[in-house]
Amino acid sequence: MGDVGSAKAAFAVAVRYHSSGRFKEAAELCRAILAKDRRFSDAMVLLGVVLCLGGSKAERAEAIALLERAVVIRPSDAQALEILGDAYTADGRLDDAMSCYRRAICLAPTRAALHSKLGIALNDSGRHADAIDALHQAIARDPKTARNHFNLGVIFKAAGQADAAVEAYRQAIALDPENPDALVNLGVIHLQRRDSDAALQCFADARRLGASGVAVTINLAACLLDRGEHDQALAIATEVLARDPACTDAHLVRGNVLIALERYGEAKSAFEAAIALDPRSATAHNNLGIALKSLNRLDEAVAAHRRALALDPAHVDAHINLGAVLQEQGQLDAAIECHTRALALDPQCALALSDLGIVLDRKGLRQASLDAHRRAAALAPDCAKIRFNLAVGLLRAGELAEGWAEYEWRWRGGIGALKAPDMPQPLWDGGDLAGRTLLVHAEQGLGDTVQFARYLPLLARHGARVVLVVPTPLERLLRSSLAGVSVVGADAPLPYFDVHLPLMSLARIFKTDLDSIPAQVPYLAADPAAVAQWRQRLGNGAALKVGVAWSGNPNHRNDRQRSIAAAALLPELLMPGVQLYSIQKAVRPADRRSLISLSHIVTDLAPRFGDLGDTAAALMALDLVITVDTSVAHLAGALGRPVWNLLPFTPDWRWLLEREDSPWYPTMRLYRQQRFDDWGDVFERLRADLRWHAVRHAAALPVGGHSDIDAAIRTAVTIDEAVGEGPKGRLSALSS
């Protein structure tokens, strides 16, 4: 290689080595050429290309140095500038890369690939508008190359222009239907839009074309999760992890499926595994917070969401989820701030609006809350959770007609754990039932079943053959109470029927509003013999016999607000002239200790309760029931018993707002919190009213029947009458 001719001949051999994949020989020959001729720019460029293929930082640094020398020697070489730009891009030096591409474009303006590469570098720099212009320039020069349309789709997606990205990917697919990349990216957009059918088709087509990478498989699992096919989604994610335990996305999807399956402990472990692999994954920390909240580990959940936001302050979901946990902790102003920040980042975020509506409701800002729910539903008309939140707001506000219609969204995902029964017979639409049998199936809690059982006799009186399927604890009571209705237990074989309907949908079918609630009580009746036994067991002393229940289902989403500790409530009710009876069926460990400590003055009746028929008989033998919002409140109201229902500041929708009575139960009085999470005012009113009621009860006994009333109570009564305590207008529905 002593002359120029031999150098050129050697370079031609090096080019052939490179073309045939013999990169090591090509590099060695280029080095030999450059050892003889340090200004042989073609060898510099080819050696730079080979070194870049090696991928190591040292090789890339040597390649960049060679390519920089080459473009100094040949500043008008567009190809060398393009290759140097590629090397800069690989090294993360985007400004230098864009400078090279622009210089190359000036030399070769019709070369579409240069515009495309400039667009990619601009996109990676966050300059999406300029990147889109560059890709449009590429497509104008080469409209038939699918890769240009694909790159434009990537940039549109990064710029938040999902509709334009979809169109670009579709154009890429039309030009190259055998390439799965655009199908995968299009499927991801469909999945993010919750169009799981379209997403599933894209991923299936991509796999048919040979796309078998982890990204496709995991997105397929995410798609199945969105469709509710949890077992299959879990199987796919688990299979990926069996092959690749270090796949962060597989841990994330597996955790998401486990959340959907309510296996929160396992979900927590899955997200922790993802974090161990990628500690800077804001999504993993955010999802861990969701699992921790579901496990009632609220402080840890807050920490997880705050970590997600430290990693990505623009993570909208983390702001929303942090707000939800803070709301659960009673930090309502902080929760509002979180949802407001989420909306500042994404003003069209329907979920942030809906959750903001929930917090505003907790704050007592009822109209603002309902407005937020309506706006959220308008933005996301197909989101079941948002539509269900709107339903609850409407029903609580007394707008029943619209509320019942929205409440049907409970079956489409509004209540996550609620699954519609799989029945081949059609749903009843309210049409003529002559000669047909209607199957009505209970849903949700025991209290819901008691409340809406009032509609069954109405159906029967209209000539329908009605079958009611109920949970076992209610079977005996409802069978003896509902004339003309066949009652079967949930585990019994179903009889023949023509149409079916969920029990709580009857309010919609009957077009129930506040003025047409069928509120005649009692509509349930306890077994007379059992009632007589209970009356004998409790005796007929002068004291007011008061049954008390203080907590409901701990899994209820509002349990923290509606339940009260026994140690907080029971001492408030201890007074002369009152005999307390615990009718609390399920007693939590801390409450059990309190109940034992008060066993000398509070009699526990619940161990004698088998089903709700037993509970009903006991309630009939009591003078008054005091309870938080549980099935006991509904049962006492349906039996026509005097019942005082203690409600949190934002109550369940059926208790409406502000009023002290219930249109569902004429014998019920409502005691509402006046401030969020503060029972103090409720207890004060409760004590005064109970003392007054005990005196009136004793005064109504036959002469001499109240001789055992404490003299201090008689003195207190005189004082109360003098100062006007115990407003008599609030006692009209509660005569003994």
- Range 720-729 contact pairs with CB under 8 angstroms and sequence separation of 24 or more: 720/691, 720/692, 720/695, 725/688, 725/692, 726/688, 726/689, 726/691, 726/692
Query: What digits encode the pLDDT tens for the residues 680-702?
Result: 999 999 999 999 999 988 887 76
Query: What digits encode the pLDDT tens for the residues 29-58?
Result: 999 989 888 889 989 999 989 998 877 888
What backbone torsions phi and psi does residue 419 show, to the nearest 5 degrees? -120, 130
CA 653, CA 252: separation in Å to the nearest integer?
A: 35
> Per-residue pLDDT for 729 more than 50?
no
Looking at residue 634, what is its pLDDT? 97
CA 304, CA 298: separation in Å to the nearest integer?
A: 10
Q: How many beta carbons lie within 10 A of that of residue 678, not counting itself?
A: 12
Q: What are the DSSP calls for 197-253, one per residue? A: HHHHHHHHHHHHTT--SHHHHHHHHHHHHHTT-HHHHHHHHHHHHHH-TT-HHHHHH
Looking at residue 722, what is its pLDDT? 31
Looking at residue 3, what is its pLDDT? 58
Looking at residue 4, what is its pLDDT? 55
> Per-residue pLDDT for 324 more than 50?
yes
Name the 3-class secondary structure at 718: helix
Q: Which CATH number fits domain 437-509: 3.30.479, 2.60.120, 3.40.50, 1.10.3470?
A: 3.40.50
> Per-residue pLDDT for 426 more than 60?
yes
Q: Omega before 522 cis (within 30°)?
A: yes
Name the pLDDT band for 211 (thresholds 50, 70, 90).
confident
Give the whole-number percent of the chain exceeding pLDDT 90. 69
105-130 mean pLDDT: 93
Mean pLDDT of the chain: 89
Looking at residue 511, what is its pLDDT? 95
CA 315, CA 223: separation in Å to the nearest integer?
A: 22
CATH architecture of 528-731: 3-Layer(aba) Sandwich (3.40)
- Range 103-106 contact pairs with CB under 8 angstroms and sequence separation of 24 or more: 104/78, 104/79
Looking at residue 36, what is its pLDDT? 87
> Per-residue pLDDT for 532 more than 70?
yes
106-115, 360-369, 492-501, 708-717, range with the lowest pLDDT: 708-717
Q: Which CATH superfamily is domain 314-412 in?
A: Tetratricopeptide repeat domain (1.25.40.10)
> Per-residue pLDDT for 207 more than 90?
no
Q: Do residues 644 and 625 touch, judged by C-beta distance below 8 A?
A: yes
Matching CATH topology for 437-509 and 528-731? Answer: yes
Residue 556 DSSP one-character state:
S
CA-based nearest residue to 324, from 347, 294, 346: 294
Residue 456 DSSP one-character state:
H
Measured CA angle at 548 (ends 547, 549), to 5 deg: 135
Measured CA angle at 189 (ends 183, 191), to 5 deg: 100
**Better-scored residue on pLDDT, 409 or 719:** 409
Looking at residue 716, what is its pLDDT? 39
Looking at residue 725, what is its pLDDT? 35
> Per-residue pLDDT for 222 more than 80?
yes
CA-based nearest residue to 560, from 416, 395, 683, 673: 673
CA 641, CA 627: separation in Å to the nearest integer?
A: 12
102-130 mean pLDDT: 93
54-68, 357-371, 607-621, range with the lowest pLDDT: 54-68
260-281 mean pLDDT: 95
CA-based nearest residue to 36, from 10, 8, 64, 1: 1
Structure tokens at 200: 């599933």
Which H/E stretch holds residue 486? strand 485-489
**Better-scored residue on pLDDT, 468 or 220:** 468
Q: What are the DSSP calls for 271-326, one per residue? A: HHHHHHH-TT-HHHHHHHHHHHHHTT-HHHHHHHHHHHHHH-TT-HHHHHHHHHHH
**Domain range annotation of the chain:** 314-412, 437-509, 528-731
> Per-residue pLDDT for 720 more than 60?
no
Q: Give me the residue label for tokens 């597996």.
A: 254
Task: Give the chain's length.
Answer: 736
Query: What digits encode the pLDDT tens for the residues 378-406?
Result: 999 988 999 999 999 999 999 999 999 99
> Per-residue pLDDT for 707 more than 80?
no
Looking at residue 703, what is its pLDDT? 52
